């Protein structure tokens, strides 16, 4: 009796690797799956013992409640704050990066100082900033938060965009200058289009950083411009009776990030390693 | 290196006096707004709080007279501060090697081509980009003793009901935090190491295989030297993040039970925003900055190496 030819060693290794890959993916995505499932469950299903792994049906009541109670304002706030601050950080940061990359403005020291700003722990600066914000009445306002995230993201943008701009061949800019374009026009019409992929990727990451930040928003908001992570922590109480809201809010606040990062997959490695690893 | 030669040459476009001034100063003009914001939001508050740290301002006492190094001297007597630094160290020292190891193993698994690899990588990355608050919240729901699946799964394997209060029981809070942390950030290590591993010289690996070198010998002699700079960068980026860990602990345990999982960031927050020890908090902030400056210097050196 034969079972036919045994699969070759190569095939078996590949099969094992797939097994490992699937197991890993299940492990790492299970919490995300769980979060999504809770957001679709009815209260009875959420507080069911033993826990149910699949809701009876996909229903959106938990999301509806967020809209009805006005909790989604936090998502809107996050959009405004993260959107504007990324925009400002990208524009100002890219210009600054261009100057540093092409004219070596400020030399090594300026570049080092800028990236060291990125390394300072938020908790160490948030308190001083809070004191100053209280003095100027900037706490719990859009302006203060946008200004803060712009500053917070600037070092990252400058550092990343410097890397992308250095990759642009000098000859292009030189010939544009020879053709009579002003330096300003060269930046807008030659350099920006050349670094567009890097620019887009960097904007996405700055958006994600501002979107995901908790500590600055926790300290600098009260009631008016609460961002989504802060809103999320409001649902933690003595009793865990806001599970539906926690899950639905988390999903609302996470989906945009998933989409953005999936689109930016190619730039992910470079983006999260501060340009140290060019994937 | 720069193209100032072209700029100063005769081919310069004819333009008005104003635009020429702008053109000449352009490198500085376009640096200025960014630097201004960084100084305004980064440096100015630091200087302000440096002054505050030498005063004695509390919630009830707005005393702006200078007390010298009293707040800094106080730091050394503050047992809770040193305990919080200890908690931070525990989390960092355990989570960082775990993330590195798991990330490395994951990268090893995916280094050779296989159909669908891109999809797996794309999915595995997701935990890393989630807001840490969401990650903490998710695990808090997962860990729940009655309605969470962790207890259910453990009970299934143990064959008897397992009831662990992960986020409350002193024996399990650290494992809970570290599981969440490792879950979220191992994929970060994985991504960077995968990129690094794909730069390892294939011909060297093949030569080693023909010579019959063992896996660990190849790892030590060929693979590790190539990916060492990336490991350094990854560890230092993650190390810095871990030293200032705040969000996931806030979401999971809020520093509890008691102050058992209070990290330095949480302690600073408590002092500043619930005890309102303004001057003292400023002093703590500078202690943290001093500590991290050491690590930062290391990071930057490594980054230069990796370039």
The span from the CA of A112 to the CA of B93, in Å, is 27
By the CB < 8 Å criterion, does A175 face chain B?
no
Q: What is the pLDDT of residue B3?
A: 42
Q: In this predicted structure, what is the pLDDT of residue B187?
A: 94
Closest approach of B175 to chain A, Cα-based (Å): 16
Which residues of A fall within a CB distance of 8 Å from B52? 128, 131
Using an 8 Å Cβ cutoff, are B300 and A112 in contact? Answer: yes
pLDDT of residue A24: 93
Smallest Cβ–Cβ distance between B240 and the set A119, A125, A278 belongs to A119
**Quick one: closest CA in A to B276, which residue?**
A127
Substitution target from A22, A124, A148 for chain B, most B beta carbons within 10 A:
A124
Of the partner residues A47, A148, A214, the one whose CB lies closest to the CB of residue B131: A214
Q: Are A17 and B109 in contact (CB under 8 A)?
A: yes
**Searching chain A, which residue's CA lies closest to the CA of residue B38?**
A151
Contacts of B42 in chain A (CB under 8 A): 117, 120, 125, 151
> How high is the pLDDT of residue B8?
43
What pLDDT is stored for residue B25 in this prediction? 81
Which residues of chain A neighbour B141 with C-beta distances below 8 Å?
Answer: 34-35, 38, 240, 243, 246-247
pLDDT band at A216 (very low <50, low <70, confident <90, very high): very high
Rounded average pLDDT over A163-188: 87
Q: For residue A261, name the pLDDT band (cuts at 50, 70, 90).
A: confident
Q: How far apart are CA B240 and CA A256, in angstroms?
A: 27
What is the bridge-based pairing of β-strands B62-66 and B55-57?
A: antiparallel
Contact (CB<8Å) B299/A250: no
- Residue B10 confidence (pLDDT): 41
Q: What are phi and psi of A221, to 5 degrees?
A: -125, 155
Whether residue B127 is predicted with pLDDT greater than 60 in this model: the reply is yes
Interface probe, candidates B36, B37, B167, chain A, greatest A C-beta count within 10 A = B37
Mean pLDDT within B97-111: 94
Average pLDDT, stretch A56-71?
88
> d(Cα A11, Cα B2) in Å, to the nearest integer?
54
Buried b (16+ CB within 10 A) or exposed e, A5-20: eeeeeeeeebeebeeb
Residue B81, CA distances (Å) to A116, A118, A129, A153, B46 in order: 25, 24, 22, 30, 21
- Looking at residue B2, what is its pLDDT? 40
In this predicted structure, the answer to whether residue B60 has a pLDDT above a threshold of 80 is no
User: Which of A99, A124, A232 is opposite residue B133, by nearest beta carbon?
Assistant: A232
Please tell me the predicted confidence (pLDDT) of residue B302: 61
Instruction: List the single residue in B11, B234, B288 with the smallest CB-CB distance to A124.
Output: B288
Q: Are A165 and A172 spatial neighbours (Cβ–Cβ below 8 Å)?
A: no
Q: What is the pLDDT of residues A69-108, one digit of tens each?
A: 888 999 999 999 999 999 999 999 999 999 998 888 887 7
Predicted local distance difference test score (pLDDT) of residue A29: 95
- Do A182 and B19 count as a contact with CB atoms less than 8 A apart? yes
Q: Cα(A210)–Cα(A83) distance, rounded to whole angstroms?
A: 9
Please tell me the pTM assigned to this model: 0.88
The token duo for A5 is 């030819």
Query: What does the pLDDT average to over B165-176?
Result: 90
- Residue B4 is predicted with a pLDDT of 42
Which residues 58-87 of A have a C-beta within 8 angstroms of B? none
Residue B304 pLDDT = 64
Report the helix count and the strand count for chain A, using DSSP H and E.
15, 0
Q: Which of B41-50, B162-171, B179-188 has the highest mean pLDDT?
A: B179-188
- pLDDT of amino acid B168: 86
Q: How many residue pairs from chains A and B have C-beta atoms closer than 8 A?
A: 303
The mean pLDDT value of chain B amounts to 85
Scanning every residue of chain A, which has its alpha carbon at the shortest distance from the alpha carbon of B126? A258
| Strongest mean pLDDT among A183-192, B21-30, B81-90 | B81-90
pLDDT at A240: 53
**Whole-number percent of chain A with pLDDT over 70:** 96
Say yes or no for a CB contact (<8 Å) between B244 and A258.
no
Q: Which residues of A touch B2 (CB under 8 A)?
A: 102-104
Query: Which pLDDT belongs to residue B55?
Result: 85
Of A95, A123, A174, the CB nearest to B6: A174
Q: Which residue would you say has higher pLDDT here, A210 or A236?
A: A210
- Maximum mean pLDDT: which of A6-15, A243-252, B98-107: B98-107
Q: Does pLDDT of B294 surpass 50?
A: yes
Contact (CB<8Å) B126/A50: no
- Cβ-based contacts of B188 with chain A (< 8 Å): 272
What distance in Å separates residue A79's CA from the closest CA in chain B? 14
- The helix/strand/coil state of A234 is coil
pLDDT at B5 over 60: no
pLDDT at A214 over 70: yes
Q: Quick check: B243 pLDDT over 80?
A: yes
Confidence of residue A1 (pLDDT cuts 50, 70, 90): very low
Question: Mind telling me how many Å the CA of A4 is from chain B's nearest CA?
Answer: 25
Q: Do A34 and B41 touch (CB under 8 A)?
A: no
């Amino acid at each position: 009796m034969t079972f036919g030819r045994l699969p070759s060693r190569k095939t078996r290794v590949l099969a094992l690797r797939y097994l490992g890959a699937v197991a890993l993916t299940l492990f790492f995505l299970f919490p995300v799956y769980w979060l999504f499932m809770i957001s679709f469950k009815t209260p009875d299903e959420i507080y069911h013992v033993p826990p149910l792994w699949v809701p009876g049906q996909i229903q959106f009541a938990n999301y509806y409640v967020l809209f009805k109670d006005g909790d989604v304002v936090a998502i809107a706030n996050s959009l405004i704050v993260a959107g504007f601050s990324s925009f400002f950080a990208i524009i100002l940061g890219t210009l600054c990066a261009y100057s540093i990359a092409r004219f070596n403005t400020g030399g090594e020291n300026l570049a080092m100082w800028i990236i060291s700003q990125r390394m300072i722990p938020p908790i160490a600066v948030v308190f001083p900033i809070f004191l100053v914000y209280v003095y100027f009445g900037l706490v719990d306002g859009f302006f203060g938060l946008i200004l803060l995230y712009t500053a917070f993201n600037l070092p990252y943008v400058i550092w990343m965009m410097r890397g992308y701009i250095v990759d642009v061949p000098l000859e292009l800019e030189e010939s544009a200058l020879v053709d009579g374009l002003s330096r300003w026009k060269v930046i807008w019409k030659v350099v920006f289009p050349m670094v567009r992929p890097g620019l887009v990727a960097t904007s996405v990451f700055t958006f994600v950083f501002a979107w995901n930040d908790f500590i600055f928003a926790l300290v600098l908001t009260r009631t008016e411009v609460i961002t989504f992570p802060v809103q999320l922590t409001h649902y933690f109480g003595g009793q865990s009776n806001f599970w539906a809201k926690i899950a639905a809010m988390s999903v609302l606040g996470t989906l945009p990030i998933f989409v953005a990062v999936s689109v930016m997959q190619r730039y992910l490695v470079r983006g999260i390693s501060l340009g140290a690893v060019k994937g | 290196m720069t193209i100032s030669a072209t700029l100063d040459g005769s081919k310069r476009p004819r333009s008005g006096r104003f635009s020429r001034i702008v053109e000449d100063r352009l490198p500085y003009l376009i640096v200025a707004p960014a630097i201004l914001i960084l100084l305004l939001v980064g440096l100015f508050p630091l200087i302000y709080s440096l002054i505050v740290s030498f005063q004695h301002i509390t919630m009830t006492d707005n005393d702006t007279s200078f007390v010298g190094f009293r707040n800094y001297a106080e730091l050394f007597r503050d047992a809770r501060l040193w305990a919080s630094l200890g908690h931070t160290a525990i989390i960092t020292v355990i989570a960082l090697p775990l993330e590195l190891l798991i990330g490395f193993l994951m990268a090893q698994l995916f280094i050779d081509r296989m159909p669908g690899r891109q999809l797996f990588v794309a999915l595995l990355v997701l935990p890393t980009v989630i807001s840490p608050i969401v990650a903490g919240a998710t695990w808090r729901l997962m860990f729940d003793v009655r309605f969470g699946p962790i207890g259910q799964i453990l009970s299934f394997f143990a064959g008897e009901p397992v009831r662990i209060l992960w986020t409350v029981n002193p024996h399990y809070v650290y494992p809970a935090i570290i599981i969440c942390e490792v879950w979220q950030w191992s994929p970060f290590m994985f991504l960077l190491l995968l990129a690094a591993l794909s730069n390892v010289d294939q011909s060297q690996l093949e030569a080693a295989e023909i010579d019959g070198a063992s896996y660990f010998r190849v790892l030590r002699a060929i693979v590790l030297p190539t990916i060492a700079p990336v490991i350094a960068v990854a560890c230092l980026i993650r190390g810095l993040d871990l030293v200032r860990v705040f969000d996931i602990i806030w979401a999971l345990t809020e520093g509890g039970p008691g102050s058992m999982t209070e990290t330095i960031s949480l302690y600073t927050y408590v002092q500043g925003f619930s005890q309102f020890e303004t001057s003292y908090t400023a002093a703590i902030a500078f202690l943290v900055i001093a500590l991290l400056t050491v690590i930062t210097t290391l990071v930057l050196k490594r980054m230069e190496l990796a370039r």
